[in-house]
């Protein structure tokens, strides 16, 4: 469970690092979390082809503006038995104060490692990052374009 006063946003990317002779794959998962104040613990639960978490770098504070926002990042290594999909989820009942009464959030990453037909290599997520805070007017449809490459 994440300990924080308010969650502002989350993103995760993944890429396969090593493939074993037995078909296992070592997957690197990198994530960033944005809060109004920094959390103590980040917990992701896995379902599907989870295998074992072989290494975890606990999230570290990377950027902060006191009283406004805090960005943390973490790295996990998951050793999965094959290229079947897995899903990582972080759920909390804390969300930034808003006018719509939303009080919880769920961040979901679907990890798809099957071989791509165009590259002949296991799939990776598009690579991107996030800025700490994007403020938008309430009840206004807003598009935020993220720079991403595949």
- Top-confidence residue, 100 or 24: 24
C-alpha 21/C-alpha 17 separation (Å) is 14
Indicate the pLDDT class of residue 47, thresholds 50, 70 and 90.
very high
Q: Alpha-carbon torsion 38, 101, 133, 57, what sign?
A: positive
Q: What dotted CATH number matches 7-111?
A: 2.60.40
For the cut 80, the answer to whether the pLDDT of residue 145 exceeds it is no
Question: Model pTM?
Answer: 0.75
Rounded to the nearest angstrom, the gap between the alpha carbon of residue 27 and the centroid of all alpha carbons in its chain is: 13
For the cut 90, the answer to whether the pLDDT of residue 16 exceeds it is yes
For the cut 90, the answer to whether the pLDDT of residue 28 exceeds it is yes
Q: What are phi and psi of 47, to 5 degrees?
A: -135, 155
- Residues 112/83, Cβ–Cβ less than 8 Å: no
């Amino acid at each position: 469970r994440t300990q924080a006063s308010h969650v502002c946003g989350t993103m995760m990317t993944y890429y396969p690092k090593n493939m074993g002779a037995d078909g296992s794959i070592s997957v690197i998962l990198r994530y960033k979390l944005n809060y109004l104040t920094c959390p103590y613990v980040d917990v992701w639960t896995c379902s599907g082809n989870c295998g074992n978490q072989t290494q975890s770098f606990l999230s570290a504070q990377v950027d902060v503006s006191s009283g406004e926002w805090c960005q943390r990042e973490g790295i996990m290594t998951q050793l999965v038995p094959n290229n079947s999909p897995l899903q990582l989820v972080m759920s909390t009942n804390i969300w930034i104060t808003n006018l719509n009464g939303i009080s919880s959030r769920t961040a979901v990453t679907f990890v798809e490692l099957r071989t791509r037909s165009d590259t002949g290599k296991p799939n990776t997520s598009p690579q991107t990052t996030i800025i700490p805070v994007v403020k938008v007017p309430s009840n206004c449809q807003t598009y935020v374009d993220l720079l991403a490459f595949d």
